[in-house]
Structure 1
Amino acid sequence: MEKPFGEASRDRPPASRRAIAEREKAAPAQPEGSPAGDSPAERVQEGPAAAPIGPAPVDRLRESSPVIPGDAPPPSTRETVTKPLLASEALMEDLAPMRPAQDAARVWCAAVGVGFLLLGGLSIAGLRPDGVVAGPPAFVLGIVALFTALTSVSYRQRAIAMVVLGAIATVIGLQSAGTAVGWGTARAVAAIALPAALVFRSRYRAYTGARWLLVAAFLVALPSFGHAIVQLALHDPHLGQLGALIVILAVLSSLTGFMGAETTGAGSFLAVAVVLAFTVDLVVGRLALLGAFSPRDIVSVLSAGLAFAATSAITSLGLFQILAWRLAADARRIDLHSHRPDHDKDGRDRRPPSGGEWLT
């Protein structure tokens, strides 16, 4: 009786054993006197190059595989999956950065350095009020600013260098101004403190201390703001009142910094606007005092305005970075998962209306 195909193939020896048996039959008999193990069949079995012909058994493949053991489970895919980035971790650098405007500081230092070199050239050419005397200090400040921009220093060291450089340039500018040094000092301090506080409020909008810094900056800018109001209200209409009006509008627009933590209050844009407003006030005020508009006088006034804007900008940016270096760690202690109540103190619903309520 014939066996089924499955049973017949199961009783059949593997292909490798059949091949070895056929080789033993075909091999010549072992000569007398030869040691054991010299027969061709035994050499085929013992030699390292004797590879089985045909498919090897599964157990032998598992034993010879160095990667996956025979009884080991397949590797889990969970080990290769990286930890997901949480929303709180992604927002932390946006709400409280550790080194904000690090690359922008180098660009500003380079730009201010080139500007001071140009002012030194104008002084040598006799187009500035102090003439040749104002040339060497401008060249020194320009070289120091370029050195600060090109060298590799720490975040804190560059910020301190920017503040010191701006303070020295402000003192030199006030000495060359002559009269009205007091109001010039108030204008310079306001143009430095208020933009720095606005930028800090913009970058650290969830930090409560940013608003207190903005309050302090408003108090510092109060003398210059009051002087602009007095100039606009008590004097007769003249060209200088245009600059006072621009200063008043810029300072009042900075009150948007006291908005909620959901918005930046446009702090970065308002900081630039405040610097430009005080610069326009300086330029327009000096132009109003000129009797005749000669090219030399116009270049002198415009160069003074350029120096004031560059000095205020670099000093304000350095002050902002010092505040960021000092308060960034404290600003990161914020609760990103704080629950906001759905109802206010009066019991009114604070949740936004749904789409159906809005349509009705």
Structure 2
Amino acid sequence: MNTYYFDHAATTPMRPEVMKAMLEVMSGPGSNASSMHAYGRAAKQHLNRSRDRIAAALGCKPSELLFTSGGTESDNAALIGAARAQRKRGKSHIITSAGEHHAVLHACEWLRKEEGFTLTVLPVDGSGRTSAASVQSAMTAETGLVSIMHGNNELGTLQPIEEIGAIVKAGGALFHVDAVQTLGWIGYRLNEIPVDLMSFSAHKINGPQGVGALYIANGTLFEAVQHGGSQERKRRAGTENIAGIAGFAEAVDICVNERETKQLFMDELRKRWIELLQEHAGVPIRINGSEQHRLPHIVNVSFIGVDTETMLMNLDMEGIAASSGSACTSGSLERSHVLRAMELPEEQLQSAVRFSFGLGNTLEELENAAQKIGTIVRRIRNNY
């Protein structure tokens, strides 16, 4: 049976070049970048070289990059570390949006419940966007931190982060952006945009799982969340994952060099996929998210009258990997909190499936998979 991997927003396959870069480190002698001997210095060189490469690609200083275990840790560290630092300045109000990843929403809710911060969760519109005007209205003299994601992981909808960032900076607060889904798709010059903290993850760009980064602009108030050694400029204790970080740097280099070509092809795949679904689905479909402000590789579509869970099970049986939304909650049978926040009709909410494309996908694959989906929908409807 042919298989089709259309879940690149959840994780991506590693590139051979990334594996090679990691294997070079893993094949060498065991080494710790904190050790003073020659082996430790070699590990430190790998670490510094990787940090320099990623910083150059992102348009920031190497000292502004903190390596983490992935997007969730980066989000948690940014929110907890910045919020605690801001509270010492008398600013204990946090603003976020209802469309955020749970790594942000749950961390913000924890700060509210366990540490006494006040929290404002802004609504999103019917396309999943948070307006800059709503951020402006929510800002107070006590606002210390605002966290708005760049690209939504379920919809692909892009947020107006530069406009929001300008408002946040003018209000004297810190601005955190979850950019886990946009790295590799958006060209960043971090030192030129009004963002204080930004989260990244390697496995969304054909790099290894378990490695991420947090950009912390120089001068940003931040308290370490993890304690122990003095690694990462005393901002994140723990031995660095040298092999993973080397793979991350290689993946960043590749995705930056191939970004424009990849964007054009993924946009072509996305448009063709929608045409094919309209032709083969056999039921009305609705595209969820913003048509104008979006990432090129994510399509969230509702198959009206076909339950999401039933659809995903049947897709899997036919070798088609898709998702109901965030990979961190897709196994929990919960309906998307993002789509619910958009106040979509119940029939649209209950039938949504996310397809996301990337390395290895072809137009021919989409043609074949769309025909299978037509068969699946007919089978489901005949069984009702």
TM range, smaller chain: under 0.3
Higher relative contact order (CA 8 A, sep 6+): 2
User: Normalising to structure 2: TM-score of the pair?
Assistant: 0.21
For the pair shown, which has the larger CA radius of gyration, 1 or 2? 1
Q: Which has the higher strand share?
A: 2
